[in-house]
Structure 1
Amino acid sequence: MTHTHAQHQDHHHDADGAQAEILELDAEVLAEHTADIIRWLPLHGDPRRFVDLASGTGAGTFALLDQFPEAHVTAVDASPGHLRRLGEKACARGVDGQVRTVLANLDDATWPDLGTPDLVWASGSMHHMADPGHALRSVHDLLAPGGLCVVVEMAGLPRFLPATAPADRPGLEDRLHAAGDRLHARHLPHRGADWGPMLTAAGFTVEGELLVDVDVTAAGNAAIGQYALGVLRRVRGAVAAELDPDDLVALDRLLDVDGPHSLLRRDDLAVRTRRSVWAARRT
């Protein structure tokens, strides 16, 4: 029994580590877009206290600190591994005195004390909440009067391949996404939602909405190949049973880093997606 528990722990750490790698690559590849989103925000004055909800390894935390170097950020996540990485990065950047990590499950009825922030940043996290309405009301209650709640969501996973790829199974990525969308419709019903009405229902005044089209080519950016590899490995893990056998073979050829058809050998990759942003004020 102990052996099984240890195996489970190892598997959990492996999965946690793999997800952390994807989060770090995601942060690197989308850094410019994230900075643009923060510059767009309808801020009042100079906010100093931030909460990064479901912070992962700190993409939002460090993007906020880059633009507000005097600020303090409370990073909240349910993964000890992600928070450990975030803390290590804060130390490496010399900002550990400005970053506090809080381990918490945001689906819990009550949240730990997160202070009274001027801004709450929720990127890619709201659609994972079991009860997003409750989460948004909790955010509303903890914000300082006049504070801002920022919800950033991506239109599903990014696409990396041209529609004509791979040559023997063109349109493979479309079919992978369709299979993933069917699964997500069952497990993540709020993915792709319009958060405006939900923010309004939670007591906020929505002050701005932004659509950001992302199209980053891989030319000279090795991170994009690694990012594509990490994301498509996770997609394979989720949708393998739903795929046509020939599609699975074609996908495995792309994921074989030592093979001639490896994603890492392609020069036509890009990161294409859309990010939607809602900025809502506690009035």
Structure 2
Amino acid sequence: MKHEQQHQHKQHNHAHAHNHGGDDFDWAAMADLLELEGEVHGQYVQQAIAELQRLTAPGDGDGDSDGGGGDRTPRRILDIGSGPGVAACRLAQAFPAAEVTAVDGTAQLLARAEQRAARLGVRVRTRQAEFPAGLAELAAPGTADLIWSGQVVHHVGDQQGVLDALAELLAPGGLLAIVEGGLPTRCLPRDLGFGRPDLFARLDVAMAGRFARMRAELPGSVAVVEDWPALLRGAGLTEVHSRTFLVEHPAPLGDEPRRFVRANLERARQTLGELLDAEDLATLDRLLDPADPACVDRRADLFLLLAKTVHFGRRP
């Protein structure tokens, strides 16, 4: 599957890893960025997994179909659009008795997932499949206990249709967790000390326009109100709710998140260049120039702050 990532987030730079028709990204070449993103965004994934553990605990009191108190530990977990397997490995650590399968359309990314699992000593299987065309081949309907899909669904033209298909893979009582939406990334003060203030607000606008064009150009694109809880209910799921989790790396920024910020700004410069004016391009160039004292490699005020929203639903 493919991510057009991360909506660098918003610098929207879609370092996710999924395949949808019509995009021109080399996802295998982006493997390093995808893996780095998974590490840097780990805070929200761990918080979401804690919510999944709560929802799968016996007798959690949320009106489960088995009447409460039964064994709800997931035995079969699918990470749809897994990329290099960072979330899949975290799921395997959280649910060691489960069979976790990382599913992606890019073989090189799945090889990364296998290497990561071996390095961490967790059990993760891999399965190459396009999204959503390969869904029917993943599992028999009603056999998955938990499906995780991080920022993948919006890369499919018919979002309701693909949620319907994911819901059909769930066993009774099974959980679907999709990551969609949140808050834009911020990494620097509003006024950088040069250029016009509010650079990142303008990057948000440029990326939003680019994202809207991507959605419109997808095969079979269907316009829907992106009310994700309503879409999950439309797929027949119950106990639907959303949680938003924070990713916060304060200044002074460590090496790994600093590299992530640089990579996302480089991608923003590459993909949004024609949408920005000369002054904003000059500001980005200064931020990315290693010889400039104001570059992101040197700034003591660099931080990383964003939020991700995860939507949960259970098959009755």
TM-score normalised by the chain length of structure 2 = 0.78
**Inter-partner Cα distance in structure 2 for 1:39 and 1:30:** 15
Which residue does the alignment assign to 2:306? 273
Which amino acid is 1:281 matched to? R
Which residue does the alignment assign to 1:23? 34
Deviation at 1:131, TM superposition (A): 1.8
Deviation at 1:207, TM superposition (A): 3.3
Deviation at 1:245, TM superposition (A): 0.8
Whether 1:238 and 2:271 are equivalent positions in the alignment is: yes
Deviation at 1:212, TM superposition (A): 2.0
Contact 2:253-2:302 within 8 A present in 1 as well: no
| 2:78 counterpart (51, 67, 70) | 51
Which amino acid is 2:170 matched to? L
- Between Structure 1 and Structure 2, the one with more helix by share is 1
Q: How does 1:118-267 map to 2 (within 5 A)?
A: 118-155=145-182, 158-188=185-215, 193-219=226-252, 221-267=254-300
C-alpha spacing 1:17/1:257, structure 2 compared with 1 (3 Å): farther
Deviation at 1:69, TM superposition (A): 2.0
Deviates most, 236-245 or 99-108? 99-108
Paired residues in the alignment total 270
Deviation at 1:134, TM superposition (A): 2.0
Deviation digits for residues 128-152 of structure 1, max 9, x if unmatched?
Answer: 1222222111111111111000012
Deviation digits for residues 161-217 of structure 1, max 9, x if unmatched?
Answer: 111125333211111111111111221368993211111111111433212233321
Q: How does 1:4-153 map to 2 (within 5 A)?
A: 15-17=26-28, 19-41=30-52, 42-44=55-57, 45-95=72-122, 98-108=123-133, 111-114=136-139, 116-153=143-180
Deviation at 1:13, TM superposition (A): 11
C-alpha spacing 1:202/1:191, structure 2 compared with 1 (3 Å): closer
TM-score normalised by the chain length of structure 1 = 0.86
Q: Which runs of 5+ in 1 are unaligned?
A: 1-11
Q: Which runs of 5+ in 2 are unaligned?
A: 1-22, 58-71, 217-222
4+ long deviations beyond 6 Å? 189-192
Which amino acid is 2:235 matched to? A
SS at match of 2:136: coil
The percentage of counterpart residues that share the same residue type is 34
Which amino acid is 2:39 matched to? E
Which amino acid is 1:31 matched to? G
**Inter-partner Cα distance in structure 2 for 1:150 and 1:14:** 26
